[in-house]
Chain A
Amino acid sequence: KNEVEQSPQNLTAQEGEFITINCSYSVGISALHWLQQHPGGGIVSLFMLSSGKKKHGRLIATINIQEKHSSLHITASHPRDSAVYICAVRMNTGFQKLVFGTGTRLLVSP
């Protein structure tokens, strides 16, 4: 079993829909990251959070430390949101490496 599990693996939506991507993890962490990877391959950090909730524009990220679960929400989705969204956790042991989920591929149609 992977230490970081994301669901769904693939997601299609119509423009304007509310989208939720889930991330569960099984290790002790000091922080959780949500990353966005566009078709060209470059990765952009969307959020880093260790508790509660963060909001940036139409994106909202939440984390429940007790349940070891995080969600990324996109409100009023747009075709430019089409990308792969990756959850990564920073472990709280050793040199605190990042452990990555396999990503959720989102396609938003006009």
Chain B
Amino acid sequence: DGGITQSPKYLFRKEGQNVTLSCEQNLNHDAMYWYRQDPGQGLRLIYYSQIVNDFQKGDIAEGYSVSREKKESFPLTVTSAQKNPTAFYLCASRNRGGGNNEQFFGPGTRLTVL
């Protein structure tokens, strides 16, 4: 089945530790996105990548880093510099072709920093 997988579903880390969230898609989509969701707020864009080996900062990139070495993978690292890392993280992907292509979402990873 085609889709987006994120692992793990729940992640616990101690304060000060870096942690990497996995996102893999087999939809052959060019563009991939990372969003953060906090209670009472809409999803906010952390980073996006429109093509392999290229990525751009979104609205709240501070304290995060990404890589896009393969088309199907877009891991997100939450560094110790991120002041408030506890949140729900969603990965998404989309085809860059012409027209309004639908964006597909992964199941999310809930990160709790203790």
Contacts and interface: CB of A to CB of B under 8 A. Distances in A.
Interface of A: 2, 4, 30-31, 33, 35, 40-45, 48, 50, 86, 88, 90, 95, 97-103
9 contacts: A31-B100, A40-B107, A42-B105, A44-B105, A88-B42, A95-B50, A97-B58, A98-B43, A99-B42
Contacts of B43: 86, 88, 98, 100
Contacts of B42: 2, 4, 86, 88, 99-103
Nearest to B107: A42
Interface of B: 40-45, 48, 50, 56, 58, 88, 90, 100, 102-108, 110
A45 B104 contact: yes
A102 B56 CA distance: 24
A29 to B, nearest CB: 10
B105 A48 contact: no
Contacts of A103: 42
Contacts, number: 51
A90 B107 contact: no
Contacts of A30: 100
B74 to A, nearest CB: 16
A103 B104 CA distance: 18
A97 B108 contact: no
Contact of B103 (A45, A50, A99, A102): A45
Nearest to A100: B42
